[in-house]
Amino acid sequence: TGNSRSVAEALAETSEARGLSTRLLSVDQYKPRDLVKEKLLLLVVSTHGEGEPPESAQALYRFLHGKRAPQLRGLRYAVFGLGDSSYQHFCKTARDFDARLEALGASRILERVDADLNFQAKSENWIPTVLNRADELVPSNPNKVVALSHARRSRRHDRNNPFSATLLENHRITSLSAVAEVRHIALAIDPSAISYTPGDALGVLFRNDPALVDNILHSTGLDADLQVTLEKSRLSLADALGTQCELTQLHPSVAARWAEVTSDNALQQLASDGEALREYCAKRQFVDLLADYPARSDADTLVQLLQPLQPRLYSIASSQAEYAEEVHLTVSVLRYRAHGRDHLGGASGFLGERIEEGALLDLYVVENPSFRLPEDGSTPIIMIGAGTGVAPYRAFLQQRAAQGDSGKNWLIFGNRHFHRDFLYQTDWLAQRKAGLLQRATLAFSRDGDAQAYVQDRMLDQGKELYRWLQEGARVYVCGGMAMEAGVRDALALVAQSQGALEPEAAAEYVDNLRAEGRYLRDVY
């Protein structure tokens, strides 16, 4: 959600104001070997998936953990980690960087901070604390300040400063008989104020479902008009639950705090088992917790134990080269029945059910520099995606068409049914007809007797796939983590069969693609 960047920018701006010589860089813009020249490093980093570094930090992570990592005895450092404690490997990337920098001889100037989803209070405390310590070690010199960019001086749009966009179009692009309801959403934006690049995501701020808020009020026996305090502001309980509190994603810390409120022995026992608690929460919303373990609570206690409402990120499905005044999204509306009640996704339900054309939405762009088209337009690309993971490829092809890029394009797309779930079929057909999309390989897992996924089609097309790789093609993968793991394994098998490589060498081949920036992921 851009949290690491917002903390780093706040750190840089405060540092500059104090007269400290400052460079603010995304980790993927930094040359790892330059670390031996640095005197002070303040690292703000998140953790993805099952304890993995974000894509932008992969190169630095591999460099520091590799056999050729240099000694860093002249470096002083501090690490601020961001994560989600509902995951087993909470802030693992920050812990790994912290430990490795120390092992290489660098000197820690402040103990690492691990921040959860509600990170603001910790970051606001860490920034002045770490800068005070840094100022003692590197005294400020107003004549040697590296000025920050004008864009950051004027404060860019982010989750705390969103821009407003008008809903132009919202229609379903899967059939009515499809299991998944996927919608194409077009929004009007001011191109003089907002810009994005194919590969970026859009952060969507939303309100919780009023029916869900009413259900929680009924379950707790609390009045909607009761006044509560959140972030030093007074507002009604109904407004707090509707606009400030996370209701559709149950965080383990919320269940643990509710165990203290209820004094329920069964829930307290569940809360003492981290793995069991994470499994319980993964399948439930807050309203399910209230149904399973009913209790009475005062209004302030209720809102304080809930996590802050988090924006949801969606891959941008358009290019400003073709839609200068618009941004498009591809949204799968989450609906399911469990635990005796119907459930609806937070942001997807908001976008799918509760806004009408002409309505204003609060949004912000989340840049994704690790998922970009090649600068050389002649480079061939292979785009692999399942379900809504195809969204950024619509933007990619629009951009390549507008730029007149000569590089070949290959789409490998998977979903359930050809006739129900072939997202953006008319777009791909038009691009095939225009000669922009040279190859399109499809995998529909519920058509026919044999299930077929994108990784199966990759193996079927192994000879051609390997030829493209040998020609320097860049591979993109967008979709779920399990799908990406299957794609990675399939690539290794292709390298093994087509390149006559041993299994270990084939795995190394795929690792090298990633290290060379030729295997790029946007997974969730």
Between 50-54, 293-297, 325-329, 346-350, the lowest mean confidence (pLDDT) is in 50-54
Number of H helices, E strands in the chain: 20, 19
Place of tokens 């292979």: 382
**For 211-230, what is the mean pLDDT?**
96
Looking at residue 28, its pLDDT comes to 80
* Strand partners for 365: 202
**Which pLDDT tens digit goes with each residue over 68-122?**
899 999 999 999 999 988 788 899 999 999 999 999 999 999 999 999 988 888 9
Looking at residue 88, its pLDDT comes to 80
Looking at residue 59, its pLDDT comes to 86
C-beta separation of 72 from 104 below 8 A: yes
Q: How many Å apart are CA 228 and CA 246, to the nearest integer?
A: 16
Q: What is the 3-state secondary structure (H, E, C) of 48-90?
A: ECCCECCHHHHHHHHHHHCCCCCCCCCCEEEEEEECCCCCCCC
Looking at residue 143, its pLDDT comes to 36
**Which pLDDT tens digit goes with each residue over 10-46?**
898 898 888 777 888 888 878 888 899 999 999 999 9
CA angle 138, 11, 365 (to 5 degrees): 150
**For 303-311, what is the mean pLDDT?**
95
Asked whether residue 147 carries a pLDDT value surpassing 60, the answer given is no
Asked whether residue 182 carries a pLDDT value surpassing 90, the answer given is yes
Taking alpha carbons only, the member of 336, 357, 239 closest to residue 288 is 336
Taking alpha carbons only, the member of 421, 427, 423, 378 closest to residue 403 is 378
Provide the pLDDT confidence category of residue 137 given band limits of 50, 70 and 90. Answer: confident
C-beta separation of 481 from 523 below 8 A: yes
Q: What are phi and psi of 77, to 5 degrees?
A: -155, 165
Looking at residue 149, its pLDDT comes to 37
Looking at residue 404, its pLDDT comes to 96
Strands (E), 132-284: 163-172, 181-188, 201-204, 227-230, 233-236
**Which pLDDT tens digit goes with each residue over 334-392?**
999 999 999 999 999 999 999 999 999 999 999 998 999 999 999 999 999 999 999 99
C-beta separation of 98 from 112 below 8 A: yes
Provide the pLDDT confidence category of residue 507 given band limits of 50, 70 and 90. Answer: very high
Neighbour tally for 359: CB within 10 Å: 12
Domain 163-201+311-366 fold:
Elongation Factor Tu (Ef-tu); domain 3 (2.40.30)
Asked whether residue 476 carries a pLDDT value surpassing 90, the answer given is yes
User: In the CATH scheme, what is the homologous superfamily, with its name and number, of domain 3-153?
Assistant: Flavodoxin domain (3.40.50.360)
Asked whether residue 141 carries a pLDDT value surpassing 80, the answer given is no
The fraction of the chain above a pLDDT of 70, given in percent, is 96
Looking at residue 187, its pLDDT comes to 98
Provide the pLDDT confidence category of residue 246 given band limits of 50, 70 and 90. Answer: very high
Q: How many Å apart are CA 522 and CA 323, to the nearest integer?
A: 23
**For 146-151, what is the mean pLDDT?**
36
DSSP helix/strand/coil, 364: strand
Q: How many Å apart are CA 373 and CA 393, to the nearest integer?
A: 10
199 backbone φψ class: left, alpha, beta (φ>0; ψ -120 to 50): left
SS3 content of the chain, % helix, strand, coil (to 5): 40, 20, 35
Between 147-156, 167-176, 514-523, the lowest mean confidence (pLDDT) is in 147-156
Looking at residue 193, its pLDDT comes to 85
Asked whether residue 155 carries a pLDDT value surpassing 60, the answer given is no
**For 162-176, what is the mean pLDDT?**
96
Asked whether residue 154 carries a pLDDT value surpassing 50, the answer given is no
Q: How many Å apart are CA 127 and CA 389, to the nearest integer?
A: 36
* Stretch (H or E) spanning 348: helix 346-353
Average pLDDT score, the chain: 92
Taking alpha carbons only, the member of 236, 171, 233, 173 closest to residue 210 is 236
Taking alpha carbons only, the member of 154, 204, 180 closest to residue 2 is 204
Provide the pLDDT confidence category of residue 138 given band limits of 50, 70 and 90. Answer: low
Looking at residue 89, its pLDDT comes to 87
- 3-17 and 120-137 are packed helices; what angle lies between their axes, rounded to 10 degrees? 40
Measured CA distances, 300 to 118, 219, 264, 455 (Å): 17, 16, 20, 50
Asked whether residue 153 carries a pLDDT value surpassing 60, the answer given is no
- 462-470 and 481-498 are packed helices; what angle lies between their axes, rounded to 10 degrees? 80
* Stretch (H or E) spanning 517: none
Neighbour tally for 54: CB within 10 Å: 20
Domain 381-523 fold:
Rossmann fold (3.40.50)
The encoded tokens of residue 293 equal: 């373990």
- Architecture of the domain spanning 210-305: Up-down Bundle (1.20)
Measured CA distances, 466 to 247, 386, 510 (Å): 46, 21, 12
Looking at residue 451, its pLDDT comes to 80
Q: How many Å apart are CA 265 and CA 258, to the nearest integer?
A: 12
Q: What is the 3-state secondary structure (H, E, C) of 162-191?
A: CEEEEEEEEEECCCCCCCCEEEEEEEECCC
Equal fold, 163-201+311-366 vs 381-523: no
Domain ranges of the chain: 3-153, 163-201+311-366, 210-305, 381-523
Cα 294–chain centre separation: 34
**For 165-181, what is the mean pLDDT?**
96
**Which pLDDT tens digit goes with each residue over 413-459?**
999 999 999 999 999 999 999 999 999 999 999 887 678 899 999 99
